[in-house]
Every structure is written in C-alpha cells, then in structure tokens.
Structure 1
C-alpha cells in the first residue's frame, strides 16, 4: 500500500493529516491518475469524518476530479467545503451521501460554483450506492482490486448525466 500520494490534489490533505485509514493512497491503474480510499478528516474538534471516502485526481491537478463519501448529517456539508475548499473545482464530480436526508431526496447543492450531488444513505455502503447510481457491473467490480475499483467508479462518474433538483444549502436545511 502506498503511503504518500504524489498528486498535488492530495498533498495538502496528506500534510494536514486528513487522509486516514487508507486502503489506497497513490497511483491507480490509469496512467496519470491518483486515488484515495479511506476516511477524510474534516474537523478535529469535534472530530468529523467524510466516511467511506473515494477520491481521485489527475496527477498534475491541484483539485480533485472525483469525490464521494458519507456524512452523518446534511448540516455538516459546510465542514466538508471548509476542509476541502481549494481541492475542489467546478468541473469535478462530487457525491455526498447523507444519513439524515429523507428517502427519495436527491439534490444538487451549489457551493460557490461547485456542485455536489447530495443523496440519502440508509444501511448500505457508499461503494454499493455508487455502483447502483453509476450503473456499474457488480460482478465485474467484485473481481477488481481497490485501484481498479476507483478507476471504474471515476469513469462511471465522468459519464454521469442524471439531473436532480438544484437547491441552495439553506433550502436543503428547510427540507430536513
């Protein structure tokens, strides 16, 4: 397992000690792409993590091209933005699964021009939710190593064109 990620998009996060419990932290099988699978620390006090996180970036980029993970509460989205701010870009694909979002709620929440797909999560995993959301082949995914899984998820996300209702963060708070 690689412990240092050469991608500029991950270097600040790594230096700040935010990349935790890494199953992968380094190159994937796609040349020029780095990935991460684990937890991303958003705050230290109180401790808040983006759990079951998947992230990817092109090696030369300072921003993540893909991010997915789970938060316990919709109200914690601003902590995600604060922690990752400079590592996000308008062209990225970002999926946040939230435990306290009502079933069936699916939104695009904009933070300063950066769109997040905000979706509910119940008793399943972010990995399984991504497979379903991105229409990936579960049988093929089972045979892949972690780096291959990240590559397949990133490729699936790059083709993702589903549209959801666009709302502000405040509108989402009012719907909880």
Structure 2
C-alpha cells in the first residue's frame, strides 16, 4: 500500500507551500511512513525557514512523529510552533538546532504542549549532528538512500529518551 502525502500531516504544510527545496518528499522504505527532507517555511515576511529539515509521519497519523532542523535564532521557536500547528503532537520527537545558543546549552522546552529538544549547532550539518546525537553508524548511513536515512534517523529519534534541563521559552530568552 502506498503512503501518500494526502494521508499525513504533511498535507496542510504542502498545500500552504511550506515544504521547500525537497531532497525527498515521498514515502520512505518503512511501510506506512512518509518522509520529507528539505526546508520548511515558517513565515513569509520576514522569511524564516527551518533549514536542513528531516521529518516523518505515519500514514493516517494526525501529527509528525519526528522532526529535526536548524533555526538561525532561538527567537524563531514561536514561529516554528505556530507554523506547524496541529501537525505536531505531544508524543513526537522534535530536535531543533539553534545557531545562537551557547555550545553547552541543551534544553527541553514545552511550547503549547509540544515538547522540543532545543540544541546548539555550530558549523556542522543537522544530518551530522543527528548521526552523532543518536549514536548512528556513519559508515552504514553513507550506503543508504535518502528514504532509508530518514527511516534510520526517525527510528533512532523514537528511541531517544535523554532528559535535559526543562525550561520555559522565556527562561531561554534570558539565557541568550
């Protein structure tokens, strides 16, 4: 059975033109899973995007099961949550890398019932950060196509349960 974008939370994001520069926008190798790799538009004016985004959703599920990507500023988190809206869920795994966070900063922030892992990123890519962060085998990953990489990363994220300091968005602003 084919998993179509129409039966996933990506449907609204796609209809609103938010799924940009897709390297992958199709089902993955896992039956019943749809994946996206590219950029997700958060706001138009000024233009803000979640860059180097990886996301998956299960067929018929109301929210994304996994999302990772990079923001240039911590202050863009509310735009991310607003743009994603109902397409995120309380039991999803969301890893947001933020350029202007101190290197030692690792937080769990609950925004509107949505739990976010908010992490620093330097000059490396979201992909490399995820491989290291989720303890994935970099050599094996090189052999996979984009759909397989999405599956392996999403599966690794689903198992991730490390706890970080839980703070409010406002507390994070004070620490910038």
Normalising to structure 2: TM-score of the pair?
Answer: 0.96
Whether 1:19 aligns to 2:22 is: no
- Matched residues in 1 for 2:7 and 2:110: separation? 26
CA deviations over 1:61-91 (Å, ceiling 9, x no partner): 1210000000000000000011001100000
CA deviations over 1:72-119 (Å, ceiling 9, x no partner): 000000000110011000000000000000011000011122110000
Contact 1:7–1:57 (CA under 8 A) maintained in structure 2: no
Aligned residue pairs, count: 173
Aligned Cα RMSD in Å? 0.8
Whether 1:108 aligns to 2:122 is: no
Q: Which residue of 2 aligns with 1:136?
A: 136
Normalising to structure 1: TM-score of the pair?
Answer: 0.96
Q: Secondary structure in 2 aligned to 1:35?
A: strand
Unmatched 5+ residue regions in structure 1?
A: none
Unmatched 5+ residue regions in structure 2?
A: none
